Amino acid sequence: MSRFKDKVAIVTGAAGGIGTAAATRLVDEGARVMLVDLDAEKLEQLAASLGDSTRWCSADVGNAQDCQNYLDQTIAAWGKVDVLLANAGIEGVVMPLAQYPLETFEQVMKVNVHGVWNGLQQVMPIMAENGGGSIVITSSVAGLQGAAGMSAYVTSKHAVVGLMRSAAIEGAADNIRVNTVNPAPIETRMMRSLEQGINPGNPEAVHDQMGKAIPFGRYGSAEEVASMLLYLASDDSSYCTGGTYTVDGAMSSG
């Protein structure tokens, strides 16, 4: 497949499970990809494994100057941006709202919401000058419903759905499409962290219980999420904008 031949994509959170899966697929389908994450060592390793079609930039997406830097490096390398996968995110801690640490709440909002805001605000004018583009934001089923003990994460994932809807309306005149992907629990490091937070003594039991609560009876894979990300990033979804797309085994249908 070559859906992304001559396309330039940025993937934030590229060192994580979903980001790595998406970046790998983008390269396989012809894209040139800027890999963005805070973990420089993992980025360097990923770029080396994916080859000459990639560059990497260590960045705190919640910092506007860092976002400007990864955009500048992308433009310097390839002259444009066609796709932004705004995928970077953190989970915070599992704790009742009344005891939730303010500093942790603020950090989750900085990465998960300010990071998306910075990307939208800075990349949309670049895309407009180039005739359009596609922005896909990784939200969560937690952006569609509540969850006890996860007030910061849930708030942040609801917030990016609102950002997406506003950006989709504003971007339409410039042929910029904006959507969210809302996964259920996925087999990634983030879910291992949340399972540990929910039941430190037996995180495996949390995994089993949560998997059984999903109608499909299992967690999803990073590759399954990447398939939806790439569909929305590609011209195959040319009339899709302003939408929330679940990859959740019917979890949000109940």
**What domains can you pick out in the chain, each with its CATH number?**
8-182+221-244 (3.40.50.720), 184-219 (no CATH)
User: How far is C-alpha 124 from the geometric centre of its chain's CA atoms?
Assistant: 17
Q: Residue-wise pLDDT tens for the chain (254 aa)? A: 689 999 999 999 999 999 999 999 999 999 999 999 999 999 999 999 999 999 999 999 999 999 999 999 999 999 999 999 999 999 999 999 999 999 999 999 999 999 999 999 999 999 999 999 999 999 999 999 999 999 999 999 999 999 999 999 999 999 999 999 999 999 988 888 888 888 899 989 989 888 888 999 999 999 999 999 999 999 999 999 999 999 999 999 97
Q: Which two tokens stand for residue 78?
A: 């390839």
Which is catalytic among the residues 70, 153, 219, 245?
153
Smallest Cα–Cα separation from 245: which of 134, 149, 150? 134
pTM score, whole prediction: 0.95
Q: Which two tokens stand for residue 161?
A: 């759905």
Q: Which two tokens stand for residue 12?
A: 């934030």
- Residues with Cβ within 8 Å of 81's Cβ and at least 6 positions away in sequence, in order, are 8, 9, 10, 71, 74, 75, 123, 126, 127, 130, 133
Whether 231 sits among the annotated catalytic residues: the reply is no
Q: 218: exposed, middle or buried (C-beta count within 10 Å: 0-12, 13-18, 19+)? A: middle
